[in-house]
Amino acid sequence: MTDARRLAYLEALGVDVYVRRGLEPAPDFTLPERMAPAESMPAAQAAAAPGVEATLDWDQLRARVAACTRCSLHETRTQTVFGVGSRSAKWMFIGEAPGADEDRQGEPFVGRAGQLLTSMLKAMGFARDDVYIANVLKCRPPGNRDPKPEEALQCRGYLERQIELVAPMLIVAVGRIAAQNLLATDTALARLRGKVHALGARGWPLVVTYHPAYLLRSPGEKRKAWQDLLFARQVFARLESGERVLP
């Protein structure tokens, strides 16, 4: 994607980018030399053990999710929302849970927030199909309430297997709930940003950013979200060049 096109998407997002002609917007973050681990992350939770899904292939996993009654959310869902995108993607975006639109359509990030995520991806030079998008929970919590810890725990094996199958180079946790759940921490999102975290026993590199639904409510934060995505691109470039981004 050309810089001009990227800037056009940023303008559409409402992100003010001040840049000298011919130059890309400079990130405000610098990549730390060493990974800063999520504070207060309980190691036992972060290094989640392989579950019963650990050997399932894509079709088996999708069928297991579609029939799942492990938590009470199955009683109120219209359908499960499995995940979408390239199964061999180098980037994986993980949100919190389906909302009303997602529950209706069976696809993550399809409402207004989803459209904003799609615009953010385009600003990075991606189509939705270039990445893999999933949620911590596969069923909608009623009234869009936050996921309960026991629901996230019951659903965790499905997401872990999705990550294993995609084997992305970089994971982006989208929003506070997803970030805190994945990293098993209650550290504020602001303090998780701008760092590379290690997810699970395999230590998948993970960075965090704001949820697009939050950005719709707080458009003034969009610039920070763009900084996060620039930071993610820096991390990805280092990973692609074989550089170590984690201790």
Among 74, 87, 202, 244, binds ligand SF4 (CB under 6 A): 74
The residue among 84 and 169 lying less far from ligand SF4, judged by its C-beta, is 84
Pick 140 or 193: Cβ nearer ligand SF4: 140
For 237, the token pair is 């470039």
Structure tokens belonging to residue 178: 């997803």
Among 13, 41, 61, 80, binds ligand SF4 (CB under 6 A): 80
Q: Which is nearer to ligand SF4, 151 or 228 (CB)?
A: 151
Smallest distance from ligand SF4 to CB 90, Å: 26
Residues paired with residue 85 on neighbouring β-strands, in sequence order: 132
137 in contact with ligand SF4 (CB under 6 A): yes
Cβ neighbour number for residue 6 with a 10 Å cutoff: 17
The label of the residue with tokens 């002609």 reads 21
Closer of 53 and 228 to ligand SF4 (Cβ): 53
Sequential DSSP letters for 37-74 = PPTT--HHHHSPPP-TTTT--HHHHHHHHHT--SSGGG
* Two tokens, residue 59: 């079709």
Position 177: which residue type? I
Nearest to ligand SF4 of 70, 238 (CB atom): 70
Residue 135 engages ligand SF4 in binding (rule: CB under 6 A) = no
Query: Quick one: which segment of 68-76, 88-96, 171-179, 180-188 binds ligand SF4 (CB under 6 A)?
Result: 68-76
The span from the CA of 228 to the CA of 72, in Å, is 35
What are the φ/ψ torsions at residue 199 (nearest 5 degrees)? -100, 125
Q: Which of 65, 177, 196, 232 binds ligand SF4 (CB under 6 A)?
A: 65
Cβ 162 to ligand SF4 shortest distance, Å: 12
Selected binder of ligand SF4 within 70, 104, 233, 238 (CB under 6 A) = 70
Please tell me whether residue 94 binds ligand SF4 under the rule CB under 6 A: no
Cβ neighbourhood burial of 108 (10 Å; 0-12, 13-18, 19+):
buried
Kind of pairing between the strands at 91-95 and 170-174: parallel
User: Which spans of this chain sit near ligand SF4 (rule: CB under 6 A)?
Assistant: 65, 68-71, 73-74, 80, 137-139, 151, 154-155
